[in-house]
């Protein structure tokens, strides 16, 4: 039974005034301290319970709100470069350097078990280690999965091959349906041919040459001219067409370490006797050099 404050006060007064209790057990002198003790205990217990319930409600609301925010789709951010390179710091601390005419899409906050980003073009990754949350680079045709390492992915849309070069650590490369799969060691490059859907591995003497673009350098080590033309085309945003099939496979060794522009590079290669070239507003055309 519950009493109001006024009713409790009246009961207390009656007990205090009582002199007819057996053996004086509930006399004024003994009844008041006992009742006062019970009332104080009642009030001490009542308020903490109310406080606890209120705190529990607040915590529940916060938990529900946090779960709601976590379940919301992550906001995606896309960074695109033109005729420049750019370094991006991702939410997990991973550093990504984008090459010319490349783009990277990533969530503003990694919420799933995997840290997934999408790349078009070329980028160098220095992945922040987190064994519980693998880092995955998705391209149009392949995925590269790592735990923490340094690697380069060359995945320009117009290139026939997608190249993944590992500098340190370990990465797993696979196509979209996982029909081909490969684990790389340092100084190895995985080359995926889009037409044949074939994945091959090549050992490099110096994998660092593959990321020379980060410093504005071009290092061509016995490369087919067609591959050099693609690299220059991607870097300078210009279409380069080679008219002769034999010339496309002609291998060239050259190094340009001072950030030369496209005209300088073509002029040096031309003067070295490799080819002739002409330029119009739409493209650069490379033709065999006449004797």
User: Which range has the worst mean pLDDT, 10-14, 43-47, 235-239, 256-260?
Assistant: 43-47
| Residue 39 contacts residue 32 (beta carbons within 8 Å) | no
Together in a domain, 67 and 90:
no
Together in a domain, 191 and 80:
yes
What is the tally of structural domains in the chain? 3
Together in a domain, 84 and 49:
no
Together in a domain, 90 and 113:
yes
Together in a domain, 266 and 155:
no
Together in a domain, 60 and 81:
no
Last residue of a domain, one of 71, 95, 118: 71
> Which residue from 126, 150, 146 is spatially nearest to 137, judged by alpha carbons?
146
DSSP state letters, 21-58: SGGGTT-HHHHHHHHHHHHHHHHHHHHHHHHHHHHHHH
Together in a domain, 160 and 243:
no
Predicted pLDDT of residue 46: 46
Percent of the chain with pLDDT over 70: 74
Last residue of a domain, one of 71, 103, 123: 71
Residue 124's domain is classified under what CATH number?
2.60.120.1440
Report how far Cα 134 is from the mean position of its chain's Cα atoms.
Answer: 10
Last residue of a domain, one of 166, 186, 208: 208
* Section 150-175 average pLDDT: 96
Together in a domain, 13 and 110:
no
How do residues 176-197 score in pLDDT, each as one tens digit? 998 899 999 999 999 999 999 9
Together in a domain, 95 and 52:
no
**Full domain range(s) for residue 265:** 216-287
Together in a domain, 274 and 159:
no
| Residue 171 contacts residue 151 (beta carbons within 8 Å) | yes
Together in a domain, 42 and 135:
no
Residue 243's domain is classified under what CATH number?
3.55.50.30
State the Cα–Cα distance between residues 160 and 194, nearest whole angstrom: 6
How do residues 70-129 score in pLDDT, each as one tens digit? 455 568 999 999 999 999 999 999 999 999 999 999 999 998 889 999 999 999 999 998
Together in a domain, 47 and 98:
no
Q: What does pTM read for this prediction?
A: 0.73
């Amino acid at each position: 039974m519950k009493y109001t404050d006024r009713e409790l006060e009246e009961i207390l007064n009656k007990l205090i005034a009582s002199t007819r209790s057996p053996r004086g057990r509930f006399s004024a002198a003994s009844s008041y301290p006992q009742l006062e003790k019970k009332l104080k205990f009642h009030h001490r217990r009542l308020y903490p319970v109310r406080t606890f319930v209120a705190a529990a409600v607040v915590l529940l609301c916060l938990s529900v709100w946090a779960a709601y925010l976590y379940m919301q789709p992550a906001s995606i951010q896309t960074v695109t470069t033109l005729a420049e390179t750019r370094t991006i710091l991702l939410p997990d601390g991973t550093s990504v350097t984008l090459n010319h005419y490349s783009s990277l899409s990533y969530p503003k906050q990694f919420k799933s078990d995997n840290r997934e980003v999408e790349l078009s073009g070329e980028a160098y990754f220095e992945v922040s280690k987190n064994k519980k949350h693998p880092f995955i680079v998705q391209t149009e045709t392949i995925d590269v999965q790592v735990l923490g390492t340094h690697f380069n992915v060359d995945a320009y849309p117009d290139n026939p091959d997608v190249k993944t070069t590992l500098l340190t650590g370990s990465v797993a490369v696979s196509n979209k349906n996982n029909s081909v799969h490969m684990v790389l060691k340092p100084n190895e490059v995985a080359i995926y041919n889009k037409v044949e859907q074939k994945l091959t591995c090549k050992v490099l003497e110096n994998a660092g040459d593959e990321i020379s673009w980060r410093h504005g350098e071009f290092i061509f080590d016995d490369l087919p001219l067609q591959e050099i033309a693609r690299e220059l085309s991607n870097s300078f945003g210009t279409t380069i067409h080679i008219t002769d099939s034999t010339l496309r496979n002609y291998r060239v060794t050259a190094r340009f370490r001072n950030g030369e522009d496209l005209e300088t590079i073509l002029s040096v290669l031309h003067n070295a006797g490799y080819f002739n070239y002409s330029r119009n507003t739409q493209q650069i055309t490379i033709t065999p050099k006449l004797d």
